[in-house]
Amino acid sequence: MNQTTEPSTIIGHSSRQKRDKPTTGVGAAQNGLPKWTVGLRCAVKSIDFILADFRPQYNRFRHPGPRRFGHRMPPKKCPRSVHMTMDQPQPVSLPTTRPVTPSMAAATSGSNRRQILATSGMLAAGWLLDRASVGRTAEPQPEVPDPLFKISLTEYSLHRMLAEKKLDPLDFPRFTRETFALDAVEYWNIPFKPKVDDHEYLREMRRRADAANVTGLLILIDGEGELGNPDDQARHVAVERHQKWVTAAHLLGCHSIRVNARSQGDTTQQLQLMVAGLRPLCKFAASMGIHVLVENHGELSSDAEWVSQLIKAVGLPNAGTLPDFNNFDGRDRYQGVQTLMPFAKSVCAKSVDFDDQGNEVATDYERMLKIVVKAGYRGYVGIEYEGSRLTEVEGVHATLRLLQRVRDRLNHEADS
């Protein structure tokens, strides 16, 4: 069956040559032409339409005909019904059903038309650059190593501001983000202790933390009774009061609560009594996915070896430790942290004062953090400033700078 191919027409010029093969669309791709030539031809046609108003003058002074892909074509008369002259510029006959008004003519003449020409040229060039980039492999970017540990803030660092009502407990996460640019906090139960049963208040705390893009890690629990009390009833009451904070931690999105190992009697008796209180609490917390951590926080808990024996005796996977850089009552703090690290699910960077070089006066942070990292810990290290010479905000900033400086040094050593 014979088919006649209609002459291809470029706007502004007629072609005498019949083409047997399509040069745009799917046919072009099937005839072996690169796909990018299709877009280029479309761009050229668009520019050619705009150049129609300038072509009589352009042909007169430049050359007898435009170039198309390296071939000179003979000059043709403009196919428009209205012929333009240099003395009588006329509007372009646009392909639209609407009549050409004077305002439309003005929009297509003079400087506006030149703006359209420039815009079309830039669009065509941008399209070609985009097509040229297709298939190229992006330059590999250097990988930024993950930090050896992350940094958070313990709410107790701001206990004076909280007591003086200079900081609302609900605003603690936002204040942490805006003031210290940290993304995680450890809550302290005392500022919102009366609200422990108010679940709507706890949900509001969570909403505000989420709005500040801050993660709650744990709650430090004080003042809820001795988990190792020799009296069975008193110990049972202490366990129940701590269970409320397990629920609060769950609502706040935390992974742990920190408890105090308080008891009476000799070393062995206190160990047994603490197991009797800590184990049922850990079982309850496990139902909510919460860990129960013992911190070296005075009395027998300042003996790291005794704490490690306690965790082993409880024998549950969600029972762990929170090593504090201080609070060892004169014992070797570095050895103490090393003893507690195998069970650690959080770490507390205690600070009190700093020398002129910004180092903590009582603790060698580099030595201590090497112990933490060597134990395989890669979680958050929480700032807990307890000094009085600096303001609380200044003390937190000083601790933060020290942690960042030591972390950068340890990261560099790990990479080298």
pLDDT digits (tens, 9 = 90+) for 23-59: 444 444 445 556 566 666 766 666 665 555 555 554 5
Look at strands 9-10 and 13-14 and give their pairing. antiparallel
Are 126 and 176 within one domain? no
Are 170 and 268 within one domain? yes
Are 223 and 345 within one domain? yes
Is there a domain that residue 358 lies in?
yes
Structural domain including 104 reads: 9-89+100-133
Are 154 and 113 within one domain? no
CA-based nearest residue to 321, from 299, 297, 351: 297
118 confidence band (pLDDT: 50, 70, 90): low
Residue 379 pLDDT: 97
Is there a domain that residue 140 lies in?
no
User: Over 50: is that where the pLDDT of 409 sits?
Assistant: yes
Residue 415 pLDDT: 81
User: Over 50: is that where the pLDDT of 14 sits?
Assistant: no
86 confidence band (pLDDT: 50, 70, 90): very low
| CATH number of the structural domain spanning residue 175 | 3.20.20.150
Q: How far apart are the C-alpha atoms of 305 and 39, rounded to whole Å?
A: 75
Q: What's the predicted TM-score (pTM) here?
A: 0.68
pLDDT digits (tens, 9 = 90+) for 211-227: 999 999 999 999 999 99
Residue 416 pLDDT: 73
Please report, rounded to a whole number, the percentage of residues in the chain having pLDDT higher than 70.
Answer: 65
pLDDT digits (tens, 9 = 90+) for 300-343: 999 999 999 999 999 999 999 999 999 999 999 999 999 999 99
Domain count across the chain: 2
Range scoring the smallest mean pLDDT among 281-285, 295-299, 368-372, 410-414: 410-414
Residue 50 pLDDT: 58
CA-based nearest residue to 13, from 56, 70, 43: 56
Are 50 and 190 within one domain? no
Are 167 and 196 within one domain? yes
172 confidence band (pLDDT: 50, 70, 90): very high
Range scoring the smallest mean pLDDT among 11-15, 129-133, 141-145, 347-351: 11-15
Are 125 and 161 within one domain? no
Range scoring the smallest mean pLDDT among 95-104, 142-151, 323-332: 95-104
Are 333 and 190 within one domain? yes
CA angle 176–177–178, rounded 5-degree value: 95
Is there a domain that residue 138 lies in?
no
Q: What is the mean pLDDT of residues 135-160?
A: 79
Is there a domain that residue 263 lies in?
yes
Residue 93 pLDDT: 45
Residue 328 CB partners (closer than 8 Å, separation 6+): 296, 302, 304, 336
Are 111 and 178 within one domain? no
Is there a domain that residue 68 lies in?
yes
User: Over 80: is that where the pLDDT of 60 sits?
Assistant: no
Please report, rounded to a whole number, the percentage of residues in the chain having pLDDT higher than 90.
Answer: 63
Q: Which neighbouring-strand residues pair with 381?
A: 151, 347
Residue 144 pLDDT: 58
Ordered strands of the 215-220 beta sheet: 319-322, 291-295, 256-259, 215-220, 184-188, 150-154, 380-385, 347-351
Q: How far apart are the C-alpha atoms of 246 and 258, rounded to whole Å?
A: 10
Is there a domain that residue 95 lies in?
no
Are 315 and 207 within one domain? yes
Give 139 or 207, the one with higher predicted confidence.
207
CA-based nearest residue to 146, from 348, 407, 372, 405: 407
Is there a domain that residue 220 lies in?
yes
Q: What is the mean pLDDT of residues 131-148?
A: 59
Phi/psi at 363 (nearest 5 deg)?
Answer: -130, 130
Maximum Cα interatomic distance, the chain, rounded to a whole number of Å: 114
Q: What is the mean pLDDT of residues 174-180?
A: 98
Residue 135 pLDDT: 47
Are 361 and 241 within one domain? yes
Are 176 and 66 within one domain? no
Is there a domain that residue 55 lies in?
yes
Residue 51 pLDDT: 57
